[in-house]
A = this chain, B = another copy of it.
Amino acid sequence: MLDQVRVLAFDIFGTTVDWWTGVSRQVDEIAAERGVELDGGAFAEAWRDRYAPSLRRVIVGEGPFATLDVLHRESLDDLLLAFGAADAFDEASRERLVRAWHRLPAWDDAVDGLSRLGRGYVVAALSNGGFALLTNLVKAAGLPFDCIISAELAGSYKPDPRVYRHAAGLLDVQPAQVLMVAAHGWDLAGAREAGMRTAFVERPVEKGPHREADRRADVDCDLAVAGFAELAEALGR
């Protein structure tokens, strides 16, 4: 079933990089500089909670396409009000907070796993992050992707099947020749609907220490692994 696969498409937030740790630390740091008490972890979680609803509005066409930076900024402004911290953050500090999503630590197995997998496959980032965000993030984390594909290029967001089909088209392969690799069942469901193969990577703490991440028992996929090293072994690399 995976013999036809030529391209591995990797989700980024939670799958390849640790957004919870990266965002919560940067929130802590910027809040401290502004002299405000703010729980970076709780703030990061609340920010991420706004993620799916804001994408959904774009997918169903309730609003025009806007990059993730723009959606992050809108939800940030709301959240600072909700956390009673709106007065403490000026324009420049809000811009810095939005850019926190451009600088996130890779999971320990990511660089080595991608290097191994890149010897046998085209390894592509396929994320809802904007093209600029992904370029910055991948460069700063030293992730050896062959190319970066943002949902922005399709003018929609995962899990809209058009995003996955558009990515396969850009790489001039059939969807069945692409293995989507993600730590989220909803992402793999969209990929499967578009005709891709699916690999689930279990990242138990990707939502931080307080919340349950997706677990393999609950996810429908062609392959389930504990990380990128196990993925490389499963694919013979």
A122 to B140, CA, bound (A): 10
Cβ A147 vs Cβ B172 within 8 A: no
A170 to B135, CA, bound (A): 10
Chain A at the B interface: mostly helix, strand, loop or mixed? Answer: helix
Task: Count chain A residues whose beta carbon lies closer than 8 angstroms to a beta carbon of B.
Answer: 22
Taking beta carbons and an 8 Å cutoff, which residues of A are in contact with B?
67, 69, 118, 122, 124, 130-132, 134-136, 138-139, 146-148, 152-153, 170-173
A135 to B130, CA, bound (A): 19
Contacts of A147 in B (CB 8 A): 131, 134-135, 138, 147-148
With beta carbons under 8 angstroms apart, the residue of B69, B146, B152 that contacts A139 is B146
The chain B residue sitting closest to A133, CB to CB, is B172
A136 to B114, CA, bound (A): 16
Given A135-B146, A135-B171, A147-B147, 18 additional A-B pairs, CB 8 A: A67-B172, A69-B172, A122-B136, A122-B139, A124-B135, A130-B172, A131-B147, A131-B170, A131-B172, A132-B170, A132-B171, A135-B147, A138-B146, A138-B147, A139-B146, A147-B148, A148-B148, A152-B170
Contacts of A153 in B (CB 8 A): 153
The chain B residue sitting closest to A131, CB to CB, is B170
A118 to B139, CA, bound (A): 9
The chain B residue sitting closest to A118, CB to CB, is B139
* Shortest Cβ distance from residue A66 to the other chain B in the assembled complex, whole angstroms: 13
Can you spell out 23 A-B residue pairs with CB atoms less than 8 angstroms apart?
A67-B172, A69-B172, A118-B139, A122-B135, A122-B136, A122-B139, A130-B172, A131-B170, A131-B171, A131-B172, A132-B170, A132-B171, A132-B173, A135-B146, A135-B147, A135-B171, A138-B146, A138-B147, A139-B146, A147-B147, A147-B148, A148-B148, A153-B153
